[in-house]
Amino acid sequence: MSAAAVWSVDPRSGKRREQVATEATAADVDRAVRAAHATRESLADRAVRAAFLRAAADLLDASAEEVVATADAETALGAPRLTGELARTSAQLRAFAEVVEDGGYLDVRVDLPDPTAVPPRPDLRRWKIPLGVVAVYAASNFPLAFSVP
């Protein structure tokens, strides 16, 4: 059985534009999750992750005209709204890069040892670590919101 085609539809005319994807099989999803998991170690480096986010923002900005035209053809939301949405998204990606570099999201806690406490307190350290990959289901009413790119 072949996978179902997914088509872009022009909302102004209702006509098919182009095939944009095929419906994913369970094996396709498994491959995607495994590929995402394989990148986990490289993205654990905060500098690499911040650079990745900034590169994504730069690529969106560099392709803004084409991205906005395609999004308008698929949504009929209009270039002004989509241009603003794209600018907001690239700004959010850059802001996330700053948060990643800052590291505050790790919520690092260090409780130094106190042998005079009753009972004595050991050296305790805590921070958040990623557990694995996450699937993101994007909002369709904001086609260029940061969850989509």
Q: Residues 6 or more apart from 50 whose CB is under 8 A from it?
A: 97, 98, 100, 101
- What confidence score (pLDDT) does residue 1 get? 54
DSSP assignment of 40-95 equals: HHHHHSHHHHHHHHHHHHHHHHHTHHHHHHHHHHHH---HHHHHHHHHHHHHHHHH
Length of the chain: 149
First to last CA, the chain: 30
Q: Report yes or no on 129 lying in a domain.
A: yes
Could you tell me if residue 64 is inside a domain?
yes
Look at residue 24 and tell me if it is in a domain: no
d(CA 113, CA 121): 5
Q: What is the extent of the structural domain holding 111?
A: 39-149
Task: Report if residue 19 sits inside a domain.
Answer: no
- Please tell me the distance from the alpha carbon of residue 23 to that of residue 49, in angstroms, as a whole number: 29
Structural domains in the chain (count): 1
Residue-wise pLDDT tens digits, 42-54: 888 899 999 999 9
For 70-129, what is each residue's pLDDT tens digit?
A: 999 989 999 999 999 999 999 999 999 999 999 988 999 999 999 999 999 999 999 998
pTM, two decimal places: 0.79
